[in-house]
Amino acid sequence: MTPLARHGDPIAAIATAPGRGAVGIVRVSGQGLAAFASALLGRELAARQVHYLPFPDARGEAIDRGLALWFPAPHSYTGEDVLELQAHGGPVVLQLLLSRCLEVAQGVLPRLRLAEPGEFTERAFLNDKLDLAQAEAVADLIDASTETAARSAARSLSGAFSTEVHVLRDALVHLRMLVEATLDFPEEEIDFLRKADARGQLSKLQEQVAAVLRQARQGALLREGITVVIAGQPNVGKSSLLNALAGAELAIVTPIAGTTRDMVRQTIQIEGVPLHVIDTAGLRESADEVERMGIARAWQQIRQADALLFLHDLTRRGDAGYERAEAQLAAELGQGPGRATRVIDVWNKADAAPEGVVGSGTAGVVLSARTGQGLAELRRALLQAVGWQAAPEGVFIARERHLQALQALRQHLRQALKWLDAPEPALDLLAEELRLGQQALGAITGEFTADDLLGTIFSRFCIGK
């Protein structure tokens, strides 16, 4: 993270992605940039108006002609003075403009320096233009891999998630006020908590937290996506299933066992949820060193998967060797009475299976990767396995740290209810649980956030953001 002492430095950066483009932007932010802007462009700029003009170099010759926009503080993205130069998007042109900014600054703005990753958005947060959840939504919107994820990130950026957090905070603060009043004025012998229905308020707050947590879990799925591993014996149709789900020939398909020796990855989407699908090597004993390495990697991916498609071959049902290997794999994958809910049995080659094979003992999804039969049912089963519900427009993007904060708040509220319901209510411990709950909640929007966490968050942004 940028040291606090450097937050007062003016900063500059190329704010558009590397490479060629129609338009590129150089952005400068800091306090007192008016003199610098005039020295750089040779004229004063009207606030929040677009100016078409040349961008001169040290000899007065135009580096390029483009648009200049001037945003005096505090009416800017960062809350500081901001100058934006929009030029043609060639990397050389933008580097020349950035170098010219640093050159001019030597005389009128000597502390101007290159921005660090995420520093523009970090300043927006520090200057109360965005809270921390909104600042994170900026990066999530840029990184969104589906339309649903982008819309949800936009909702978080507009403050939808923060509004939910503030509603919880206000209810929690009111409850703390009642408890603190009871602790501060015991001689009044007024049961503030009973008359104010503190227990009812606490129970209602728990319900509200549970509702926000459910929404946040959906948002986290949109942001992170779901890692799905396709596993099974050789030649059960794993690569064909990956191709069918992706709608493209991504993996080589042959009747030769061991064709897939390493992982093949593809990201698809179902109902706007990103699915990172991984086709793995067939699971079997092998003397081939390369294939053994692929199988070892397959098991590593299986252990880390959010959902596992255990693929079976209907055309080989009844074959003694195949069934023995299936039973062994089922045991290793955690099948049986204590099976993990994340494992979905998929019975492939329904189009080629003998009559009567599909029936008892085929619990799961029956499909044909070749014809597409059963793919819609498989997609629904995948979303159900990871807890996805049809996303209403109200879903907002969320991160794992948001889920952890909400879960911590829920745990503190549970403990607070225990202290309140004790035969002799321990109000001081009740008050402490409520305080800790508010602190956990405040970490979402940045009201109670360690500096090292801020550094981790903003360091993952791109330079110009």
Sequence ranges of the binding site for GTP: 235-240, 254-260, 279-282, 348-351, 368-370
Q: Which residues are annotated as a binding site for Mg(2+)?
A: 239, 260
| Binding-site residues | 27, 84, 129, 235-240, 254-260, 279-282, 348-351, 368-370, 465
C-alpha 71/C-alpha 75 separation (Å) is 6
Annotated binding-site ranges for K(+): 235, 254, 256, 259
Task: Pull the structure tokens for residue 156.
Answer: 């978080």
Closest of 377, 409, 145, 449 to residue 269, by C-alpha = 145
Most distant CA atoms of the chain, gap in Å: 86
**Residue 265 DSSP SS3:** strand
Q: Are 343 and 333 in contact (CB under 8 A)?
A: yes
List CB contacts of 298: < 8 A, sequence separation 6 or more.
229, 231, 263, 280, 281, 283
**226-232 vs 307-313, strand pairing mode:** parallel
SS3 state at 53: strand
DSSP string, 145-177: -SHHHHHHHHHHHTTHHHHHHHHHHHHHHHHHH
DSSP class of 186: G
How far from chain centre, in Å, is Cα 406?
A: 16
Residue set of the binding site for (6S)-5-formyl-5,6,7,8-tetrahydrofolate: 27, 84, 129, 465
Q: Which two tokens stand for residue 12?
A: 């500059």
